[in-house]
Each structure stands twice: as structure tokens, then as C-alpha cells.
Amino acid sequence: MTVLTVAPVPPDEIFALTRAYNNDDYPQKVNLSAGVYRTNDGEPWPLPVVQEAEKQLREDNNIFRHEYTAIEGDIAFLPLARDLMFGFDSQASSEKDAATKARIGTVQTVAGTGANHLGAIFLARHMKPRTVWLSNPSWANHLTIWELAGVPRKTYPYYSAATRSFDFRGMMSTLESEAEEGDVVLLHACAHNPTGLDPSKEQWKSIIDLCERKSLFPFFDSAYQGFASGSADEDAWAVRYVLNEKPQMEMCVAQSFSKNFGLYGQRVGAFHYVLNDGAQDLRDTVVVNLCHLIRGEYSMGPTAGCSIVKKVLTSPELTAQWYDDLKTMSSRIISMRQALYDELVRLGTPGTWKHIIEQNGMFSYTGLTPLQVYALKDKYHIYLLKSGRASISGLSPKNVTYVARAIDKVVRNFN
């Protein structure tokens, strides 16, 4: 008789915390664990532009809306995703743009997670890197994805606990001395998860120069384009710098539409492989091999969410409205960072808290210890990751004072 041998694995921390939060009946409970946007009332916010797109799609009543698409995804969606990521203007395409676009192979994926996974198994099979370098810390799922791809993982320093800042010197020193030719370096395009700390443009240039000089392969994870700063162009700066200023470098990009369109459950994403200039003839071969992997996993990306994105990005009016919605989300998160910081300063909470307003994007690496995090959960029903990562979108004018006072109390108790 065949006996299944399987060992337990630890539950996903974020989903476990969300489940605990949902089962908590305390009236002042606060969820700072889930990476989803919330309004000032703590409610989900279907973007107004998404609701308008859904309305138009219902009116269109496209009889083909439930049909199969191509293995590489919705054919009309692919160039829209590419152009948004890399900054091409579909209304003013030049010969140079056409040559650059020919370097990029694009397929639709099951959101950003699927794009990361597809990229990892594609590189594991065809590039066979000895190591993938992940930031320490990084999004926990990066560890799982590359483990499942069978690529050995190492980490480069990213966060300085002493200063609560980006450890640029540590990152550069480690990659310079230890990374080897052909290694993959996983880079967060903007709004680093979980720290909220991003390199400056000058630091990005140094990081990319190092990758070029040592023949390291950059793998960008772009989960927050437009959501972090309110500008889709600003949040794609590092990716576009490599494309336009380093034409002899290859790279790939995992692109998610979960945060910037609020399509968390629709699973809309894309994976882009960028060939070096002169290797355009290989693009179709790259796409065919990506499709081979897609076919064996999920056959093609889901259509409902990408139809919404497609409707928005093909309408100048809806695109303009989307940009306004991005500003609404990013500005609310910035205001909540400021409110939390101001209240902690007003309370005289021990320690320094300026990092909260120096970080950007959805998350803040608060600097709270696991014991302090557990105390926040057990005594005050405030849920955040044991690393101290807090989702700023869970703050609102209604709870930020309560959260700040709870942090003040636990910090004082553990000082």
C-alpha cells in the first residue's frame, strides 16, 4: 500500500491574522495586517473608475466575455499592460519605441503572485541561476515561490533596525562581495514590502550599475505602480531606467493590478521578459516557452478583471479618472502616516517615529518587537505582523488615536 508522507507547514501569517480578526467581536478591533486598501470608514473601496468600467462592460454585453482567450492571455490586454509598465505612449509610437517594444515578451498571469511564480520557474528552467538574492526582509511569499522553483535563496541586507532606514551600504557590499555572475536579484520596483523604504534614484542607478558590471539578473516585482506615490510614471522609474539606459541588460518584471485597481480578488497580472537590444528575434521563443509553462498550470489568465483594466486603459476619460483614484488612495495613506506620527509625538512615545512618514506605500516597518505586537493583539485587539509590519491603510481618523495610544502603552511597558 502506498503511504502518503507529508509534513505540516506553518499557516500563512497574514491570512491567519485576518481570520482571527474576523472572529474577534471586540468593537474597537483594528486590522493592520492585510495588504488591502480601506476607506476612512474601514470599508473596501471599489474604485469609482472600476465601477464605471463594470457598468460599461454590462452595457456592452459582449457575448464572447466567457470564452477562452489565448494561452498568453487576452491579446488586447497585453500591450496595455506593457505600455503602462514601461511608459510607452500608444498615441505617439516612434520607430525607436517599436524596436524597444520588440525586446519585450509579455504574457498574462494570475496576478502578481502568478507573475512572480511564472518568472521563477521560467528562470529556473532556462537560466538555471545558482542563487536568487532576496532582500532581508522581503515579502514572505517570495521565499515560498523561489523555494518551490528549486532555486537556492540568499539574502542581502535591506533594513537597518538601528536607524529604521534602508541599508543601502549593506546591500551593495553584500552583492558586491558575494553575488556571482548569473545570479538573480529580486528587486521591489517601489513601495518595498514590508519596510516601505525605497532606494533614491541615485541609489537605484548604483544598484543597476552593480548588476550590469557583475552580470546579475534583475527581477523586478511591481505590485504598487501608481498606488505608492499616486504617479504610475514615478513608481516605474527604476524599471524604465533599466529598459532605456541599459539596453544590453536583460531583466524581467512581475506586474500586479491588485492594488492600483483594487482588483484583489480578480487576479490580474502580467509577466514581462526584457531581452537585450539585438536579441529581438528571441522574443517569440521566450513567449512560446512561457506559454508552455502556463498551459501546464492554468491554461490562460482569467478574463473578468483584465476586461476591466482593458476598458479603463483604452478610454482617455477613464484613464484620467483612474489617475485621480490613485491620488485619492495614495494621499489618504500619506495622511494616515502623518496622523499616526503626530499622535505618537504628541504622546511623547519613547523612541523615534519619523521613519513612519519617511516610508511610503501601503506598509510601515514600525520597529515594534514581537512581544509588543503580541501585546497589541492580546490587550488592544490591534492586529499586525510579528515583524512589526503594519498596513497603514487599516488606519483611519476613527481609530488612529486609539492605535497610537495603544502603541504608546506597550512601548512604555516593554521599555
Q: What's residue 35's pLDDT? A: 81
Domain range for 154:
68-314
Neighbours of 250 (CB within 10 A): 17
In this structure, the answer to whether residues 146 and 265 fall within a common structural domain is yes
In this structure, the answer to whether residues 408 and 289 fall within a common structural domain is no
**348: region left, alpha or beta (phi > 0 left; psi from -120 to 50 alpha):** left
Q: What's residue 183's pLDDT? A: 97
Q: Which of 139, 146, 322, 353 is catalytic?
A: 139
Catalytic annotation present for 353: no
Q: What's residue 9's pLDDT? A: 80
Catalytic annotation present for 237: no
Domain count, the chain: 2
Q: What's residue 91's pLDDT? A: 65
Domain presence at residue 112: yes
Q: Which of 167, 183, 198, 259 is catalytic?
A: 259
Cβ contacts of residue 297 below 8 Å, gap of 6+? none
Domain presence at residue 173: yes
Q: What's residue 7's pLDDT? A: 82
Q: Which of 74, 183, 198, 221 is catalytic?
A: 221
Q: What's residue 229's pLDDT? A: 87
Domain presence at residue 59: no
In this structure, the answer to whether residues 134 and 271 fall within a common structural domain is yes
Domain presence at residue 212: yes
- Per-residue confidence in pLDDT tens, the chain, 415 aa: 677 888 888 888 888 888 998 999 999 999 998 888 898 888 899 999 999 999 999 999 999 999 999 999 999 999 999 999 999 986 666 778 888 999 999 999 999 999 999 999 999 999 999 999 999 999 889 999 999 999 999 999 999 988 889 999 999 999 999 999 999 999 999 999 999 999 999 999 999 999 999 999 999 999 999 988 889 999 999 999 999 999 999 999 999 999 999 999 999 999 999 999 988 899 999 999 999 999 999 999 999 999 999 999 999 999 999 999 999 999 999 999 999 999 999 999 998 899 999 988 888 898 899 999 999 999 999 999 988 989 999 999 999 999 999 999 999 887 6
Catalytic annotation present for 221: yes
336: domain CATH number is 3.90.1150.10
In this structure, the answer to whether residues 279 and 400 fall within a common structural domain is no
In this structure, the answer to whether residues 146 and 266 fall within a common structural domain is yes
Domain final position from 314, 337, 367: 314
Beta bridge pairs of residue 137: none
Q: What's residue 361's pLDDT? A: 86
Domain final position from 287, 314, 341: 314
168: domain CATH number is 3.40.640.10
Q: What's residue 93's pLDDT? A: 67
